Amino acid sequence: MDINMVGICKSFGTNKVLGGVNLHIRPGEVHALMGENGAGKSTLMNILTGIHKADAGTILVDGKEVTFQNNKDAEEHGIAFIHQELNIWPNLSVLENLFPTNQPRTRLGLIDFKEMRRRAEAKCKEIGIELPLDAIAGECSVGQQQMTEITRNLMLDAKTVIMDEPTAALTERETNSLFAVMKTLKNNGVSVIYISHRMEEVFNNCDTI
């Protein structure tokens, strides 16, 4: 997926947050989006995913101008935004979190948990991670919850994944696992927009700043 944001402007009242911003994300690229607090990084991504509307500018996806109505619309077009506050259903299992609305059904119309597990295990194997599928999501570590959300979006065929300060609450081991997954996504042609203040992480894992 090739994403080109051109001349994006956004103000909140008299506060001008973005003034003519250009951003080009290429297929299979890990692109670092950097700037001090309040620079407008999250606002730019919120505009890309339909959470906010730009005052001016255009968004092109694979050469075609688009305007997403909301984040669900963006997800359906293959763009997933994983926020710092993770979107996890804490009382459900990890497996159930992977299928919030698109559960496979048996011929009798019942939820097909066996097929859910088969698909989940196949996707985890594809991206090289292990998830405790039977564990209650709210009892899992932040890293496991984050991987659950990434996996859920990839199962919806996300082509671009936005990660906002993803390592802020991770252990060193979880951070290394995340970077390994990012490398796999890149090799599979999935783009990653990586919002971070951590210079070492950016220089070691990103292609473009």
* Residue 156 pLDDT: 82
The pTM (predicted TM-score) of the whole model is 0.88
pLDDT tens-digit series, residues 139-174: 999 889 988 988 988 888 899 999 998 888 888 888
Contact (CB, 8 A) for 42 and 164: yes
pLDDT tens-digit series, residues 23-63: 999 999 999 999 888 889 999 999 999 999 999 999 999 99
pLDDT tens-digit series, residues 88-114: 999 999 999 999 877 888 888 888 999
The domain that holds 84 is classified in CATH as 3.40.50.300
Q: How far apart are CA 87 and CA 173, in angstroms?
A: 22
Number of independent structural domains in the chain = 1
User: Could you tell me the CA-to-CA distances from 46 to 6, 54, 85, 133, 161 in Å, in that order?
Assistant: 15, 9, 14, 30, 13
Q: Could you tell me the residue range of the domain that residue 150 belongs to?
A: 3-205
